[in-house]
Structure 1
């Protein structure tokens, strides 16, 4: 990248998001990205994202006709480039799109694929030697066509730092919220999730295929149990406690949890405790000992161990990072996050 481009990137707010669109994109994933990054949410985080569509002239996505704001040649000027799902994975994506995505990554952009958008990233060589995912029904095709990609068919999304990929449909929303969480913190990501009526946090390593991602029925065994547990995270809850509250056996509870959340009751509880700890680290001055008590971790040592293993950095580093984000010179958490965090 030229010295001039380096200067341009330095003076931007590092929050520009470019949605790369061409003929043959899937409108659902495109709409998800637009809803999260293109909506005016400055009341949540100011500055919010500077969002724009990038594509070659007018393009048709499903039954919709879109007029891009910029050409694909402007992708290298974006901080984050999002590639929605690619409809026909049996044909090669347009060379113009592949070249533009590759150039954006070389210029330092964070490149994100939603669903089968991973085929575009793979064609650009961005997934070579990296772990990646896509919709479960296309993981075999991705692995066969691009053998240098380490395809993981069993996760919702994969975070490699500068390159991120998601599975299909709802998992694309999980990855979008993950990006907001990295850039703005858990509290804002959770607020957006509540606004969109979606789960506030499903970890990237969670299984793709679950019977019912959200217990929607009023009579579902977990509909009342999950909020009950979240309100009691400061207590040392066990599987037996949850089973007793749900009025079922521990084994039956485990089956319902696996079907509805893709994970075990204890892992779900740990995820909620870590999420609560993130919120407290961002929004309060409470010490690690107090946060450990408030999240049911017991001791600061236990909290630090689980937090570091799950998030990738110690609680104190996490707090300093998000406090620093309010200053222009502050570092971004993305540089601290390990692959898949």
Structure 2
């Protein structure tokens, strides 16, 4: 008789919840009897994962934003620690969210529970001291970025590279003509997609200058329209109250995200994984990002790389212009988008450079590959950890 395996999974943000669900789905394909609980969002919940806390309460970015919720995060950690002590799961899987998850890794390690880290902390950008914690507390490190294996090897740290999930989840084809027809756009009309971020504080800072930039562009491109891709974890009212007078030429959608990005002539995108999604869709654009002054001040002194867009880092060049903090002014944003819309040679050059990014992120099948690695080592009946 086999013993039911228990997993605790921690994905504290919406993007982590998305990727965690892809991994869990493949684990359940290997064993439908797994019992899984932890931190996550709607995607994990739909798979039957019992949530201790939801991502809508856990998302916070920046030094000051975290400080304001510090007592709450201490309660979350205490509750997680108690669950690990009381239920002693067979495995802890951590997904991104390093500020919290590395502390959880230490807790699990001290309790003798194996730890897998899927989607690693970006130690190549800042806080390289975290490599020591990853080495000490985790039994398996799984990467989805192609350059990380070589980076970690310089620190004698073994990493399994499985490919990037976006090569599976972003379709090669999209109903571009159908989207444009739905928006009543003629062939020569321009469509700009706005991706302001998946956290409320990102929306508060990034969406207003994006909308203002669109209004500026509207003066030159009379039939221009904008479409905002709504994050699943945010209420639509947060968006609609910021649109104001631009409501006549800006729409909000949360369906067919990739079709809208592919159907757009250009994109304004917040820094993060959305830049990678935009790149894989092959749509030229500009990175727009604003954060609190304190967070920016600290980041400038801690970050070890000179580019923040993940797509640019993977590409090894600045394919997307980056307008950060005071540079993320509406006039600057509009000017960069205007270059893309007005110069066909410039547009084609960016498209060609973006096409190389998808190839770098292969092979496909990353979730299944990661699940097989985890299952064989930690969860199969004859595995070496039991």
Q: Establish whether TM, by shorter chain, passes 0.5.
A: no
Output the TM-score relative to the length of structure 2: 0.32
The structure in which a higher percent of residues are helix is 2
TM-score (norm 1): 0.35
Which has a greater percent of strand? 2
More relative contact order, 1 or 2 (CA 8 Å, 6+ apart): 2
